[in-house]
Structures are given as structure tokens and as C-alpha cells.
Amino acid sequence: MRLGGYLFPWNPENFTPPVPEKMMSSVKTYASVAVFSWGASITGKEIVLKWDLMGNAQFDALQALFEADAIVLWDLDVLGQMNYYVAIKKFDGEFLDVIYDNGYKTKVELTLLILEESSIGMS
């Protein structure tokens, strides 16, 4: 898996599947309900990637991408899988041991906001 050209040495243990969601809203009227539907879309979906444990080098690289506040390509590196241009919305983790730096973070979560699909990087 790659994000903004950075190849993850350690992929997330789990993440939200990048599948379209149905965009729909409703408003109750006096006698019925008005429904507004824009169909299914992947644009605007939030994807949360989670690691139970992550090395400091990877954490620092992802922190730099987060702080750059740029639109980046999320390449799933899976044959035939669509890739996405994303904004990094949130990035957080905890020290594994606060007494000394043992080289790892724990409970790491990276939230991506899908902006559009891309065929770049597809084989």
C-alpha cells in the first residue's frame, strides 16, 4: 500500500472498505415524506486505516504527509483495484511506553477523505 508515493513497510491491520455509499436524505412532510437521492458514490467517503502497532519511522513519514496538507494518491497496490486521490483528515497514535522511546506507536489511526478515483498505478 502507498500513500503519496510513500510505500508502507507495515500495512494496516484493518481499514474501512473503499466501496461506494448511497447518498440519500429525507424530510417528513405533512402527509408523506420527500426523498432526495444522489445515488451511490465513493467521493466524500472517509476511510479509517488502523494499526495496533507502528514503527516510529513509518509514523514520522505519515505525520509529514499529514502536516503537508496536500492531496495525495492512495494506491492500494492490489491488481485491478481502483486507486484514489485523498486528503488526510486525521492522524493519531499513542506512545507504546511513556517511560522510554522503544521505537513504536500503538493504536494508530489514519483517516482519509476520498476526493476522486484514479486509474494511476493500476496494472
**The CA-based dihedral angle spanning residues 85, 71, 18, 123, taken in that order and rounded to the nearest 10 degrees:** 40
For the record, the C-alpha cell of 73 comes out as 494518491
| Interval 79-121: pLDDT, tens | 667 899 999 999 999 887 765 567 889 999 999 999 999 876 5
Domains belonging to the chain, first-starting first, are 2-118 (2.40.30)
The mean of the pLDDT values for the chain is: 90
Query: pLDDT over 90 for what percent of the chain?
Result: 78
Q: Is 121 or 54 the better-scoring residue by pLDDT?
A: 54
Cα–Cα distance measured from residue 123 to residue 96, given in angstroms and rounded to the nearest whole number: 38
- The alpha carbon of 102 is separated from its chain's Cα centroid by a whole number of angstroms, namely 26
